[in-house]
Amino acid sequence: MARTLCRIFKGCQSICSLPLMKTRLHPSASVLLRTVCVRRMLTLPLPFSPKARDFSLPNSSWGAEMRQLYEHYNSQCEEEMKGEEKQDWAWKRLPSYNRSLKYATGGVYLSKIIQSKARLFTRNIKEPGAAFEYVLFVSKDEQKCVCIFQAGHLLEGPPGHVHGGAIATMIDTVTGTHASVLSAPVMTANLNINYRRPIPLGSTVLIESSLNKTEGRKVLISCKVTSTDGSKLHTEATALFVAINVSHLLGG
């Protein structure tokens, strides 16, 4: 609860700081304005739920392999310590929501209904385990990103195997998230995929993304999808992302 309030407060802080930057107020008036702003924001309906679900946390649908790998990477993640230095860590788990909170109000051209109903493609199926179950970890130096992906029964393409479009979706998600961590918001400009070996439905695979190079606004990434022990190569890909200004998304 305290963390949630802290997140909301931080959001409010940036909003409340705008008028203060432009007008010269007596310090006591500034404090009052901030307090009123924060109180008002807390009583107004928010554009997103303050209790947003983090889909990257384990749920009952996760198989033993998914859980073991999650524990393996999670045990190497940053541990939050109160009042002390944070411990060394090799990986960081990236939380995952079904809506990007930062842009939750959507583009100016979207209707209110679309804005309120829009959900991230990979996180829009309510039944746990039915479609995309995944968690992403990014390395400390951010050169690598690894995703543990369990493909649910709704992702069937060829009988008993995962649809190529679903694999492409996951590759785009993993490499795109990695590129965003490395850069600013990005969009996929180019995605090349070689499908080498089908992925059985219900299985867990590793999707590994590596930075090839950055060139100005361009981020070039390579990616491979393997069995969890690394012995089978299922898919290989390269991707080009271009950093965008968010206004790029507001033009329609």
Q: Which residues are catalytic, by number?
A: 172
Q: Taking the complex as a whole, how short is the minimal distance between the CB of residue 111 and ligand CO8, in angstroms?
A: 20
Task: State residue 196 phi and psi, 5-degree precision.
Answer: -100, -35
Looking at residue 192, its amino acid is N
Helix axis angle, 2-22 to 27-43, nearest 10°: 130
Q: Taking the complex as a whole, how short is the minimal distance between the CB of residue 252 and ligand CO8, in angstroms?
A: 11
Q: Taking the complex as a whole, how short is the minimal distance between the CB of residue 177 and ligand CO8, in angstroms?
A: 5
* Residue among 161, 160, 128, 163 at smallest CA distance from 56: 128
Query: Which residue's CB is nearer to ligand CO8, number 37 or number 209?
Result: 209
Query: Which residue's CB is nearer to ligand CO8, number 180 or number 228?
Result: 180
11 sits in which H/E element? helix 2-22
Query: Which residue's CB is nearer to ligand CO8, number 70 or number 132?
Result: 132
Q: How much of the chain is helix, strand and coil, in % rounded to 5?
A: 35, 25, 40
Query: Which residue's CB is nearer to ligand CO8, number 27 or number 252?
Result: 252
Query: Which residue's CB is nearer to ligand CO8, number 72 or number 248?
Result: 248
The CA R_g of the chain, rounded to the nearest whole Å, is 21
Residues of this chain that interact with ligand CO8 (CB under 6 A) are 172-173, 176-177, 187-190, 216-218, 240, 242, 244
Q: Taking the complex as a whole, how short is the minimal distance between the CB of residue 182 and ligand CO8, in angstroms?
A: 13
Q: Which residues of 199-225 are buried (b: 16+ CB within 10 A; e: fewer)?
A: bebebbbbbbbebeeeeeebbbbebbb
Q: Taking the complex as a whole, how short is the minimal distance between the CB of residue 186 and ligand CO8, in angstroms?
A: 7
- Sheet containing strand 218-227, edge to edge, reads 91-94, 132-139, 144-151, 204-215, 218-227, 233-243, 186-195
C-alpha distances (whole Å) from 181 to each of 158, 177, 188 are: 34, 6, 14
